[in-house]
Amino acid sequence: MILSLNEQASLFLFSVSLGFIIGFIYDIFRIIRFIFNHKKIWVQIEDALYWLISVFFVFLFLLKKNYGEVRFYMIVGVFLGMFLYFISISQLILSVSEKILKTIFFLIKTFLSILLYPFICLYNILRVPVKKSSNFFINKNKKLLQLIKIYVRIRITQTKNLFKVVRPKKK
């Protein structure tokens, strides 16, 4: 299919904008990595998933705009859009999102500390008496266990004596 120069320029600009969108999607993956620590294997899986999604969208774009014809300038346009995105606003988006996430984490931490403050105070007040009483009961339990152990030894010897068979002495 022969396209006019105007249509080719339009497709090129669409592919550059698609590159911008694909770069933004990658930044979303990077922000998710900032929120949740990942092992290297999960980073590799996420990158593979990212490229699969990117290829799918590029394929849909080519199918919709150019009837599935792959043109070199369109692929260059996608990579140029990604490159322009990464050198222009990617660092700004990452730094702003990092500050927003740190602020959200700080607010959640502050809210939880305010919510848990009465329980912390109650714990600090009751910690010493509970520890002393637990030590008291532990000592009592030790004594009780020692008495039980003595009782068990007595019962064992009584049981042995009860079933003891008298054997005749050897001459």
Q: Does residue 169 surpass a pLDDT of 80?
A: no
Q: Does residue 66 surpass a pLDDT of 70?
A: yes
When pLDDT is cut at 50, 70 and 90, the band that residue 29 belongs to is confident
> What mean pLDDT is predicted for residues 44-57?
90
Mean pLDDT of all residues belonging to the chain: 84
Write down the pTM of the prediction: 0.62
DSSP collapsed to 3 states, the chain: CCCCHHHHHHHHHHHHHHHHHHHHHHHHHHHHHHHCCCCHHHHHHHHHHHHHHHHHHHHHHHHHHHCCCCCHHHHHHHHHHHHHHHHHCHHHHHHHHHHHHHHHHHHHHHHHHHHHHHHHHHHHHHHHHHHHHHHHHHHHHHHHHHHHHHHHHHHHHHHHHHCCCCCCCCC
